[in-house]
Amino acid sequence: MQSTEAMLAFYRALGLQIRETPNAIAVYVGDQMINFHRPTLWQDAKFTLRAPAAKPPCGDLCFVWDGTPASLKAMLDRAGVKMVEGPVDRQGGRRRTGSSVYVRDPDGNLLEFMIYS
């Protein structure tokens, strides 16, 4: 994470629950959790539970959106988040085609919201 404040504001604006610890921020998405390591952790050579050369922005995350395309657009608009691409048809984690919308978080990580019909 380059800016803790920017990341917290971004994910809170999306309406997600957040838990902060001294070394990380956990963002809860449904039953899933994303850990963002603070610079004090990812710059520590003793910390090895990460990709060997991981430096922001290195994330590419996909979330299933249970709402409609209109409700996704409304949520992104309320949060002030600009779409990078989409909606476009993509193969998803459910091994079928869905409609994807892509955005970036403050560190530049790519976030995909997949809507299955």
Report cis status (omega within 30 of 0) of the bond before 106: no
Given 5, 20, 85, 112, the catalytic residue: 112
Asked if 112 is an active-site residue, the reply is yes
- 4 backbone dihedrals φ, ψ, rounded to 5°: -60, -45
- The b-or-e profile of 58-93 (16+ CB within 10 A means b, else e) is eeeeebbbeeeeeebbebbeebebeeeebbeeeebe
Which residues are marked as active site?
A: 112
